[in-house]
Every structure is written in C-alpha cells, then in structure tokens.
Structure 1
Amino acid sequence: MSNKKVFEEFSKLVQKKSSELAQEVTEKQNEKYPEMQSISNDLLTMREELVKLFGESFVLGDEERRKNFKAWGKKAGTQCATLNASLEEMLNEFPEYRTIIGELLKTHAKEHELSIDGFYDMLNILETDIGDVTCYFSLPFVDYQADQLKNSKEALFELSVPVIPISDEIAVLPLVGDIDTSRAKLMLEKALEKSAKLKVNYFILDLSGVPIIDTYVAQIIFQLIDSLELIGVKAKVTGMTPDIVQTVVNLGIDFQKIQTYSSLKQAINTIHGRETSKTV
C-alpha cells in the first residue's frame, strides 16, 4: 500500500475515533485537574473538534492545516478563557494528543508496514500540528485575559474617583491616597461629567484622605474649579491637612481665590448659610 493511501486511511481512522479519543483526553485531564470536571462537557466538544482536525491534517497541505488550527485556536482559546480554565491546565493537555494519536499512529504504521520515511513524515505532521495548536490557542486566550484585566483595572480606577451626591444641590468627591497624573485627569473628567449629569449647584472636593499634592495636582484643582464655574457649579475644597498646607506654601501655590474649609461638615454648613468661609 502506498504511503498516500496509508495517510488517507489513518486520517479517516482518527476522525472516526474522534469522540473516543476526545473522551480519553477528557478523562486524563479530569484525573490531573479535578476542578475541570465542571466544564468537561464544554471542553469535550472542543476536544472532539480538535481530534478531527488532527485527523484531517494528514491529507492536507501545510497552509490549509495551519488555517484550520488557527481558526480552532481562536475560537477555543477565547471560549476556554470565558470558562475560567487556566492556561497552564489547557497547555498541559496538548501533549496528551501527541501520546494518544501517536500510539494509534504507531499501531497503524506497523499494520500497514509503513516505511521509516513514511512514519517519520506522519509523525512530523503530528508534531507540527501540536506546536501550531499550542500557539494559536494561547494567543486569543492571553488576549482575552489581558482585556479582562484591563477592564477590571479601568473599573477599579474609576472607583478611585467616586463623585457622590449628598443632596439635590451638592455633590462630593472624597479622595483617598496619592493622586498621580492619570488619577488627576480622571478626577477632572468625572467631576465635570457627574456635576453636569446630577445638575448640582455645589461641588465639594474633599482632600482629607490625601497625604500630599504637588504642583500638577494643584493645577488640576484650579482647572477643575474654573471648569465647574463655567457650567454654573460653585466649587469648594475641604480637608487640607497640615502637610498639604505646608506643601502649598513651600511651592508658592496661591489658594487664596479658592474657598477652602477644614472639614466637609463646615463646607456643607456654609452652603446652608450657617458658617462663613475660611481660606488658606
């Protein structure tokens, strides 16, 4: 029997046994990673599709094989990431295909007295396929997780600038921790956006949880206050600690035009006409 015929028959054999081989991989993975049993049914379908691709690859050209594995890797990599499977668990799975299909290949080659060159060619196809699958699966998996991490960071970052309405006319932005360039820009953006949306008359920036500010942050505060005034919102600053006051003085930053108060309570009372403003 010619090598081409042996390749074709082996291709059909692997595809025919795709469900059985996929189940064998599933059992091995569940044994190694019991936590994966909850998503076994979802993974079983993808594994069966992959086994069929391995089978088809023995009668396809290099370009078509890579195209098929790339399409599978994109779909399966993304899906496995959404199932919360770990990349380590999934990558440790691919050698199982090499072992299981390799044993089937060895038996098939012996039965058909395949030449050493022919066996090497078939084994080389399988090894190449394993490498391609590993690559094409990993890329979308990593991209998906990177996007999720980015979205989580952005959501957490926005939570670091919480504009809180405390009445129909007053909104407060209580800041805690260091204010870097990115956070200062976000503070300006969110303060204007929320003030306009809430239609408040007063905006209070509370710095009692901020250890220190620099010239750039001070400039952003000035810019914020000027911008708020342009949309008809009166801004006040509260909670300036002694360290911040000392920094303001040392840097020569002029806060005289900004209404500042020692506490949030004092600023609110002033708005209600119960106290007078105190500036730095």
Structure 2
Amino acid sequence: MTNKQSVFEEFSDLIRERSTELAQEVTEKQNKKYPEMLSISNDMLTMREELVKLFAESFVLDKDERRRKFKAWGRKAGGQCATLNTSLEEMLNEFPEYRTIIGELLMVKAKEYELSIEEFYEMLNILETDISDVTCYFSLPFVDYQADQLRNSKAALFELSVPVIPISDKVAVLPLVGDIDTSRAKLMLEKALEKSSELKVNYFILDLSGVPIIDTYVAQIIFQLIDSLELIGVKAKVTGMTPDIVQTVVNLGIDFQKIQTYSSLKQAINVIYSTET
C-alpha cells in the first residue's frame, strides 16, 4: 500500500468519525442564514450526516462508484427536501459549505503528511468533483417535484375555472368568466355533462355574461354541449350574451336560433320556474 493510499484512507476515516460534528456545523450555518429551516433541523441533520459520510467514503472509491453513490443520494435527498418545503436556492447555497469545512481538514492533513502538490490536488479534485455531482443530482428531482406541484396546482385551478353550481334540485348553472380557449372549452363540455348527470338536474344554464368574446370553435362546443345534454334528458339554456358576442356570432354566420337564449340568468331562471309551476 502506497503512502498516498494510506493518507487517503486516514482522511476518509477522519471525515467519517467527525460526520455528526460537521453535519451539525453545516446545520447551524444554514439555520443562521435561513431561520425558517429551524423547524426541519432534525430531518436536515440526518441527511447532512449521510452526505458527509458519503464525502468521506469517496476518497477511497473510484470515480464511477463515487458518481453512482452521489447520484443515488442526490435523487433521494432532492425529493425529500422538496417535500419539506425547502427552496432550491437554500439547498444550493448549502453545498459550498461542505467544500469549506472538508477542504480545511484536507489542507491540515496535507501539511501533516507533507503531500506533494500533485497529491493535494488529487484529493482536492475529488472533493470538487463530488460537490459538482451532488449539486447536479440533487437539483434534478427537486426541480421535477416542484414542476409536478406546479402542474397539479394549475390543474386544480383550471378545474375551478369551470364551476358547475346547483341552484336547486332541478337547475344547475355554469357561470363562465374570462376568455375561453380550446382546453377550457373541452373541459366545459366534460364538466357540464359529468355534473348534470351526477346532480340529476332537468335544466342546465350556460351563463356567458363574463365572457368577452367567443369564436367559431367555442360556438361549436356550445352546440355540442347542448346536443349532448339533450341526449341525457337535460334542457340547456344560454344566458348573458353580450353585444360583442352577438356581433361576433352574426359576423361569423353562426346560427343560434335553435338555442334558447336569454339576456340574463335571472330571466332564464324565472322562465324555468314559471314553466314548472
């Protein structure tokens, strides 16, 4: 066994023995910079100790094995930290701390054993490569998790953009507000049919008073919606067509004559109740 190998092993043992202490040092620094992390200190301390031990082990592993282990830790820890509501900025600002505290120990050991510049550089390069790898592998699942959360939030918000509201046992209303794009138009069709069947209503009112404009595609979806509702025994009515929508309908040559339209939601409801009594 060469002297260099012996030094690398001793340094690995030193870092491993002090893993709890070093992890605690990083934790204290992070808590000072980010007080909001105090509530998850115990969870973070465990992960940090695992990482310090991994840094220690890397000094006696070959490059491929080191990368494999850091990849596994990064993917696991990245997802866990995301669920703990840490920010990526906080975590990326943490990794240089390991470079500092382990690098200082490395310098002491290099002086103690009078390592050559080449040997010291080799150890330093291992640490720098490890820091780079763990930063990369940690970031990927963290970003993926955050992206999934954002997609889920957008999907939930999108669902709320098509609210079917039962106003009695027989009547449900879909009040639309804002522009209607292709995706929202399709969702409108799906939700109207789904909720009408679920609520077992006799009448479905599509209120367009909050919609600035419609195009040919949206008009076709409205026709399709009304036809589909009729097939399940629900009578559909359209209310709140603004002058701008009426003008667009006329200009596009869209025929709304077969659809029961009313100037306001109140008028449609009054007609329904007068018919029922």
* TM-score when normalising by structure 1: 0.95
Cα distance in 2 between the residues matched to 1:171 and 1:229: 14
Query: Comparing 133-142 with 32-41, which one deviates more in the overlay?
Result: 32-41
Q: Which amino acid aligns with 1:76?
A: A
Query: Match of 1:59, SS?
Result: coil
Q: Which amino acid aligns with 2:235?
A: K
Cα distance in 1 between the residues matched to 2:61 and 2:127: 12
Deviation at 1:142, TM superposition (A): 0.5
Deviation at 1:181, TM superposition (A): 1.1
The answer for the alignment partner of 1:49 in structure 2 is: 50
Deviations 1:79-125 (A, max 9, x none): 11111111111101111100100000111122122222221111110
Deviation at 1:219, TM superposition (A): 0.6
Cα distance in 2 between the residues matched to 1:38 and 1:73: 22
Deviation at 1:34, TM superposition (A): 2.0
Any residues of structure 2 matched to 1:156-167 within 5 Å, and which?
156-167=157-168
The answer for the alignment partner of 1:224 in structure 2 is: 225
Deviation at 1:152, TM superposition (A): 0.4
The answer for the alignment partner of 1:115 in structure 2 is: 116
* Residue 26 (structure 1) aligned with residue 27 (structure 2): yes
The answer for the alignment partner of 2:81 in structure 1 is: 80
Deviation at 1:263, TM superposition (A): 1.2
* TM-score when normalising by structure 2: 0.96
Deviations 1:193-233 (A, max 9, x none): 11111111111100011111111111110011111111111
Cα distance in 2 between the residues matched to 1:13 and 1:163: 65
The answer for the alignment partner of 1:14 in structure 2 is: 15
Query: Match of 1:6, SS?
Result: helix
Cα distance in 1 between the residues matched to 2:275 and 2:226: 23
Cα distance in 2 between the residues matched to 1:2 and 1:196: 79
Q: Which amino acid aligns with 2:122?
A: D
Give the unaligned 5+ runs of structure 1: 276-280
Cα distance in 1 between the residues matched to 2:143 and 2:89: 11
Cα distance in 2 between the residues matched to 1:269 and 1:10: 85
Cα distance in 2 between the residues matched to 1:165 and 1:156: 20
The answer for the alignment partner of 2:237 in structure 1 is: 236
Cα distance in 1 between the residues matched to 2:194 and 2:236: 14
Any residues of structure 2 matched to 1:111-190 within 5 Å, and which?
111-190=112-191
Matched positions, count: 275
Deviations 1:164-211 (A, max 9, x none): 111111111000111111111110111111111111111110001111
Q: State the identity %.
A: 85
The answer for the alignment partner of 1:93 in structure 2 is: 94
Deviation at 1:274, TM superposition (A): 5.2
Query: Comparing 263-272 with 88-97, which one deviates more in the overlay?
Result: 263-272
* Residue 104 (structure 1) aligned with residue 105 (structure 2): yes
Deviation at 1:235, TM superposition (A): 0.6
Query: Comparing 172-181 with 264-273, which one deviates more in the overlay?
Result: 264-273
How large is the Cα RMSD of the aligned pairs?
Answer: 1.2
Give the unaligned 5+ runs of structure 2: none
The answer for the alignment partner of 1:206 in structure 2 is: 207
Query: Match of 1:236, SS?
Result: strand
